[in-house]
Amino acid sequence: MKKSLEIYQVDVFTDERFNGNPATVVWDSESLSKDLMLKLAQEFNNSETVFACFNKNNTLVLRYFTPTQEIDFCGHATIAAAIVFVKRLGSRSSIEFLTNSGPLTIHLKDGKYYYGPYEARTDEIIDGRMKEELLGVLNLSSKDLHSKYPMQIVKSVSNKLLIFLKTRKSVFGFFPNFTKLKEFSIHYNLPPVFLFSVKKDVTNLKCYGRMFAPTLGIDEDPVNGNSCITMAEYLFTHNVVEHTLFFNTPVQCIQGKLTGREGTVFIDVKEVNKQLKVSIGGTGVIVFKTKVKI
């Protein structure tokens, strides 16, 4: 007997359809094999598809797939699942999920869905020949970089290689060679790359970013939330932003301009025992709902 799956397309980190980062949510997926989940993710062809089903403890279990593989966690797909949860079961102040990375709580605050808090730590600095080679692959110049800040891997729920650029124009003014970037990342065993710039004033802190992950089948992710966890730690560790401003000013990261799917990530930062705690938030909208028989 064929089963009918409920499928939702959700645009996350935006209030407008056809913007932000799209994710597919497959509801009531407990009978699906891993192989079938991957085939469905390939068919939907979003950067991530999340499969949701309740376990015997009535906790919603989430599994995440890119078009090429299963991954442990995806922030925007989690927000998408929370939006579908609220649509089906009603709003509440928090929602409990279980993922391959462990338990996860989504908090609803000021109309936004927040996950976290997470910690991160700065790690290996990329320098010398590797740095120059990466700049060439990205079609960037050393003149685009903030010379006093390193190109550095930051580890968290999702590791990233961070590159701090001088201006918003620099962030949106280049086009990488994704084939070479994939080969380079595999050769050096590097995580996805996140490039960003910062604009600050006394009332607001805006960042502009782009995330590349060709080894995961994602050349450029329209809007990536987990990158902002690592970016916040980088800004904190290297004192890019005065800490009093950092903790008392709204922090946003605008992404997706060149993909035609602009969206905004909201970043909530706190310091606990000299350790940064970062939560990531956003809005979202259901674009459509359909059914697929399998």
Q: Which residues are catalytic?
A: 48
Residue with tokens 């939330």: 225
> At a CB cut-off of 8 Å and minimum separation 6, what does 255 contact?
13, 208, 209, 210, 211, 221, 222, 223, 224, 262, 263, 264, 265
Rounded Cα–Cα distance for residues 282 and 103 (Å): 20
The neighbouring-strand residues paired with 95 are 106
At 236, which helix (H) or strand (E)? Answer: helix 226-237
Name the CA radius of gyration of the chain, rounded: 19
CA distances from 110 to 95, 253, 261, 274, 281 (A): 15, 17, 23, 27, 10
Rounded Cα–Cα distance for residues 13 and 16 (Å): 9
DSSP string covering 250-283: -EEEEE-TTTT--EEEEEEEEEETTEEEEEEEE-
Q: Nearest to residue 127, comparing CAs of 116, 139, 113, 142? A: 142
> At a CB cut-off of 8 Å and minimum separation 6, what does 57 contact?
none
